[in-house]
Structure 1
């Protein structure tokens, strides 16, 4: 596969008008999340269940991670199934509903008031996810070329809908209790369906396609992919069953072991794709994407520690829970978004500007649309900020936490600057 083929594959189906708004929204959400983090660093020395940590977590989960994945999926799924997106209007409507619903919900979390604004926000988000799921399902159904990567994305979208439905029920339960237990009891169920079913399953499905594509690798192994799919869904179903049965903590080691094996297989898949690559030089974007794969082990380590805490003392370590959540949303999810943003968005923008100008002169490469120096600086401030903040949580050091948030704010500014540089690019033909 040539570089030009990769470019064509990534941009040939869905209009940029559908995809780019999601990227912009996500970039601004990341900036907002880091500002909230800067203003709320001391909250991470306290219990995890409080307004500011809830607001930051959902800004990262919905505004940052989910929105950029929704946008990228509208571009990627047609490539995977070699067919057009079923409906651009459903995609637009999904963006509008989520774009309105997310801030309504986040404001409610920050104010810790779960009235009609929170319920309306949650309903709009559910509507956006439902439209996305329908759009993906119909696109795949109509295509004669169905594959396991598309199944990963479709299944992940289903789990996302389950996550948002549970979230809606929890929001309603805060102000008008109707569930058997308080909303706090169900938070781990809500969170892990989203983390494992939506984020992890989708990252595995998309990563196992994009990483070999951008490395221009010959490696492919369907057995690995089906095993990863089965183990990840099996781990999630086992967790849900154990939660419903209120099983003792030691049984939770079973889904954790399934998950650990799935991650090993995913790491092995990516390693073999790297070893069998045709392109020997690996750019900075791919390096940070590959780094994000190793960072997936960090939350698993904290999860095992948490289970150990419960088994030993019957109590949960709030520091470890905060570190667990932070390592997921500011760790591997953010790292893989960084890498994939600057691998996919340049092609989308390049196609938007230069697609109809072929043969009129020499055009710039997609990688020239953003600043490599800014990307490298962003990567360094991100890694430093992430590590310092994680250490700050574990040793409960406010000075370290506040210093780390400065680095993460700088990271978000640099990310937004580079994204806007691409989007505001003017045609250059020589």
Structure 2
């Protein structure tokens, strides 16, 4: 395991990375609280203020912020160089971290004036600074590879996503677009889901999963196929949306993305089978489970398209689709990978200068296994419970699921802070 950790330990300073992890942990708790307070809303239409608030708290505060931090840490591992500018990383954190609460609050109270508009501008500024930093880091390293290409392209899609989101926010009051903001919601959501989250998860996951499994498997050709399938699907989706085309034509870009997911599953399976370390820990089990969980939203997506062709949109299916993305595979991957990367970052910060002076704890000793197991159990139970509640239209079931997810978020955050405040102990 130390072989895997050594690559992470020698990269970007912890001062850049740790604020993103802490912010994301707090955002996860806030998102779970909002989910519990808004669980009744999931029995209605998906375009509601409280659902928009939960979605953006999860997508931006939880998913995006921790991915920004992790990619700052991992980019030097992937390119063999250094992060171009820690200062840009700090500024990205400040702008994004300030803008996200404004946006979430604006959606919750549905005030599309200054809170939402200032929030959108700040988030877009933070994302642009991140994209510049990533591009400059890859350029100066002159050692770009398929993983770095995934990260940069995902960053481009992220900026497009937040830019479209910014236009939608201003469109509520200024009417700058031909249609109302609800018309463009699917465009905004799918650019972010497939272009930002999926590309980034595959680009980084295809490096981290074999690394932490200590696997010999490496197949850049498969990754390039995934890259072109996802981006091709996104471009076709944009064309179909903007022209527009009949609903059945959306099956084609969805099939391309589904094919990329099948390839990613096969990639992870090969990495698992060729691993050197035969015993797989709990963190990796959750991370690998997240790969399987990618199937769930794709099933919902194809079902939604089929229902649209036959009888019109089903709000419960749309809500379940979004929930299984943000609280499903994305959250499962983060829960697993946090406790593979963060302990190494803090261990390196704390014990790098003390190596060889005595016996130091293992990175896995920096967090509580009992809290981790409790987090995993409450997460899986809460995820299944809430998803069933959405489909059944039962508020009591969704509330029970939300309580379990809140327990998972609290245990996750408690463990993150336990690592963060770890004090050196050398024997």
* TM-score normalised by length of structure 1: 0.99
Deviation by residue 1:403-426 (Cα, 9 ceiling, x = unmatched): 111101100110011001101111
Matches within 5 A, 1:177-326: 177-313=175-311, 315-326=312-323
Q: Give the unaligned 5+ runs of structure 2.
A: none
Which residue does the alignment assign to 1:132?
130
SS in 1 for 2:112: coil
Shift of 1:6: 2.1
Output the CA distance in 2 between the equivalents of 1:203 and 1:125.
21
Which residue does the alignment assign to 2:35?
37
Which residue does the alignment assign to 2:379?
382
Deviation by residue 1:366-386 (Cα, 9 ceiling, x = unmatched): 000001111111101000000
Output the CA distance in 1 between the equivalents of 2:122 and 2:410.
29
Matches within 5 A, 1:325-344: 325-344=322-341
Output the CA distance in 1 between the equivalents of 2:356 and 2:254.
54
Aligned residue pair count: 427
Which residue does the alignment assign to 2:3?
5
* TM-score normalised by length of structure 2: 0.99
Output the CA distance in 2 between the equivalents of 1:275 and 1:4.
20
Which residue does the alignment assign to 1:369?
366
Output the CA distance in 1 between the equivalents of 2:370 and 2:176.
54
Output the CA distance in 2 between the equivalents of 1:389 and 1:377.
18
Do structure 1's residue 347 and structure 2's residue 322 form an aligned pair? Answer: no
Output the CA distance in 2 between the equivalents of 1:253 and 1:144.
39
Output the CA distance in 1 between the equivalents of 2:141 and 2:2.
24
CA RMSD of aligned residues (A): 0.6
Output the CA distance in 1 between the equivalents of 2:9 and 2:94.
23
Output the CA distance in 2 between the equivalents of 1:81 and 1:98.
25
Which residue does the alignment assign to 2:19?
21
From 105, 108, 111, the counterpart of 1:107: 105
Q: Indicate the larger mover: 402-411 or 151-160.
A: 402-411
Output the CA distance in 2 between the equivalents of 1:158 and 1:404.
35
Which residue does the alignment assign to 1:85?
83
SS in 2 for 1:301: helix
